[in-house]
Structure 1
Amino acid sequence: MRDATSNPSGDISATSGDGPLAVEATAWLVRLASGEATSEDAAALQRWRSQSSAHRQAFAEAKLLWEVLGPAGDMVRERAKVSAVQALVATNVIASRRNVKLGRRAFLGGALAASVAAVGYVGARPPFRLWPSPGELTADYRTGTGERQTIALADDVSIVMNTQTSIDIRSGAAGTRAFELIDGEAAVTAKASFEVFAANGRVTASSARFSLRRDQASVCVTCLEGAVRVNRHDQLVEVLTGQQVVYDDNGFRPVAPIDVAVASAWERGQLIFRHEPLARVVQELNRYRPGKIVLLNDRLGERDVVATFQLSRIDEAVVNLAQTFSARLRRLPGGMVLLS
């Protein structure tokens, strides 16, 4: 494998995800999932992995991607089977066999996008947000990865939708204007009475600037100016300027102070982190770029980050983080990036 110093393109990735070791590692996974793997195969795999740390790393990365991809990509996996076995036979990793029955869990890193159209897997939350959920598909407004959109409901109410956000316009109590946050994050500037619904909760404001972020059943409400009231079932919480509250199926968490400039940075096209663990930073970056950044080192994920990134140059953030922490960065097809 190459490191940053031997890569003439200047990219600090090592070998690409479709290199020889990656193909062989994928082929091993195909064989192990076939239901016909033998003890000789297991011993041969151990010999293959023991050849070098690069072999072990390739197998670990292929296994990780196999697991996180989940059920997406059935058609692509079918296409992967023949090439994977051919790779093993061609490199003498395993002996050629007739009528090899392959499992359905083969992985082909080069065609993540094609897997979206290949499966009818729309009943659950999509892996890596590769396609919209049913609720998002029927939303009145929706933004894609890395997109922002401003909606003026009237002269006195405006909404800024952040990346991967879906909302439905509806009526609130007594005919007041309102919307439901289906998923994602939105900032609201209201100069008149206004309501927002999200995950069995309701936010009410009459003259305020606030934001909501919904991650499935968890909702975070941040008051940027003025005051808002948050109702959930029979509980009511008031949130003032510079405060934030989170609620989920377990109820409200305590109201906490926040830095307004940090919380609203995305509206200005920035991401600001002040002493956040790298794992949390990576999780946030994944909202704004296609594919997925995967941390392979738990200790690396604990490193402290103080940084400001421009959303218009989000990929530079990944490179900067890798350089700052002397981490190994490897790019794979489909926008996948491995940090270790």
Structure 2
Amino acid sequence: MTHPALLAQAREWQVLLHSGRATEADRAAADAWRRAAPEHDRALREVEGLWALLGQIERPAQPPSVRVVRRPLRWAVPLASAAAVLLALWLPRGTWVGLYADISTGPGEVRELRLEDGSLLTLNGDSALDWQFVDGRREIRLYRGEADFQVAHDPRRPFTVSAGEAHIRVTGTRFDVRLDPEGADLAVSGGRVLASSEGREPLPVVAGQQVQWRGGELQAPQVLDARQRLAWQRGKLVFRDRPLAQVFAELERSQGARVLFVDDAARALQVTGVFALDDPQAVLRAVESTLPVRLVRLPGLILVASRG
């Protein structure tokens, strides 16, 4: 089996070579890397296999029967314009973050960490952060994913968390912070925190409330639905009328495959259900059996398209 680190390097070369920005020097360097060891050549051949598979989906070698492939152009057009994006999505999450984060978790991995001040951190799957305790300050930076913070009370040393545009300041309490491409989300389950964004006055958020940052702006506090929002802490995934796009975004923290929507129609479909955090395949089976979508599974990637 090819080592994951070599596969990651091979994927990076493949993305560069198909990005349209590769120079002759880049191509020569990729060729030299390939010839440096048999393991390198094997890794690149595995990556090229996915590229070839995408090509087969775009342009079947033989006319497919109607029974096997319905509406083939539905896949061909998006894939033809997004092949390089697909390869980029196939890169392991956190390839760069992992270089500088103090702690990170893989998909499906939940980890606890006791800090030197006695605070307890619990990281959800596919998360990364680092911390710095200097000059009377306790500072955390969340790079991706989600973490629950049980902060040791110390009025002399404020505890701050930065997550994208979000800034959170406390002296001792319990709260959960999630950071994804849409923005940051804060849920307070105990005590009181001060939430802010750059250049804005801090907003008090108390136990039983949650707030979001969208487009860099801090939104008004909302009532916290702890059963759904903090379900991961109980080993559950709880969805109540959640758009399919959000469901898959959360599911990516539990399973290794990336998800790409081929069309927009499927994104807004609603999902309701309770699932075990350690059984993401149950979510996929439920989606396929109850919603008008079809899933195509590729190595490290799931393509989602609406049916009909």
- Paired residue for 2:149? 188
The 3 A distance-change label for structure 1 pair 64 and 287 is farther
- Paired residue for 2:33? none
Is 1:127 aligned with 2:85? no
CA RMSD of aligned residues (A): 3.4
- Percentage identity across aligned positions? 25
- Paired residue for 1:223? 188
Q: Within 1, Cα distance between the matches of 2:160 and 2:82?
A: 37
The alpha-carbon deviation at position 187 of structure 1 amounts to 0.7
- Paired residue for 2:175? 210
Matches within 5 A, 1:90-101: none
8 Å CA contact 2:259, 2:303 repeated in 1: yes
Q: Within 2, Cα distance between the matches of 1:24 and 1:269?
A: 39
The 3 A distance-change label for structure 1 pair 328 and 200 is closer
Secondary structure, counterpart of 1:312 in structure 2: coil
Select which of 120, 131, 134 maps to 1:169: 131
- Paired residue for 2:226? 260
The 3 A distance-change label for structure 1 pair 299 and 134 is closer
Residue range with higher mean Cα deviation, 194-203 or 151-160: 194-203
Which one has more relative contact order, counting CA pairs under 8 Å at least 6 apart?
A: 1
Select which of 60, 66, 69 maps to 2:74: 60
Q: How many residues in Structure 1 have an aligned counterpart in Structure 2?
A: 252
The 3 A distance-change label for structure 1 pair 286 and 64 is farther
Q: Within 1, Cα distance between the matches of 2:96 and 2:295?
A: 34
Is 1:238 aligned with 2:252? no
Q: Within 2, Cα distance between the matches of 1:196 and 1:135?
A: 17
The alpha-carbon deviation at position 235 of structure 1 amounts to 1.8
Q: Within 1, Cα distance between the matches of 2:182 and 2:252?
A: 19
Select which of 128, 132, 140 maps to 2:102: 140
The 3 A distance-change label for structure 1 pair 149 and 68 is farther
Q: Within 1, Cα distance between the matches of 2:205 and 2:114?
A: 24
Secondary structure, counterpart of 2:108 in structure 1: coil
The alpha-carbon deviation at position 155 of structure 1 amounts to 6.2
The 3 A distance-change label for structure 1 pair 258 and 68 is farther
Residue range with higher mean Cα deviation, 245-254 or 229-238: 245-254
Select which of 272, 287, 303 maps to 2:253: 287
- Paired residue for 1:323? 289
Q: TM-score, normalised by structure 1?
A: 0.63
Deviations 1:77-107 (A, max 9, x none): xxxxxxxxxxxxxxxxxxxxxxxxxxxxxxx
Q: Within 1, Cα distance between the matches of 2:165 and 2:264?
A: 35
The 3 A distance-change label for structure 1 pair 200 and 332 is closer
The alpha-carbon deviation at position 337 of structure 1 amounts to 4.5
Q: Within 2, Cα distance between the matches of 1:228 and 1:310?
A: 30
8 Å CA contact 2:119, 2:150 repeated in 1: yes
- Counterpart of 2:142, as a letter, is L
Secondary structure, counterpart of 2:284 in structure 1: helix
The alpha-carbon deviation at position 212 of structure 1 amounts to 0.9
8 Å CA contact 1:186, 1:212 repeated in 2: yes
- Paired residue for 2:8? none
The alpha-carbon deviation at position 140 of structure 1 amounts to 0.7
The alpha-carbon deviation at position 295 of structure 1 amounts to 4.4
Q: Within 2, Cα distance between the matches of 1:235 and 1:154?
A: 30
Secondary structure, counterpart of 1:229 in structure 2: strand
The 3 A distance-change label for structure 1 pair 234 and 297 is closer
Q: Within 1, Cα distance between the matches of 2:106 and 2:181?
A: 17
Secondary structure, counterpart of 2:71 in structure 1: helix
Which protein is bigger by CA-based radius of gyration? 1
- Counterpart of 1:61, as a letter, is W
The 3 A distance-change label for structure 1 pair 329 and 199 is closer
Residue range with higher mean Cα deviation, 148-157 or 161-170: 148-157
Can you give the 5+ residue segments of structure 2 that lack an aligned partner in the other structure? 1-48
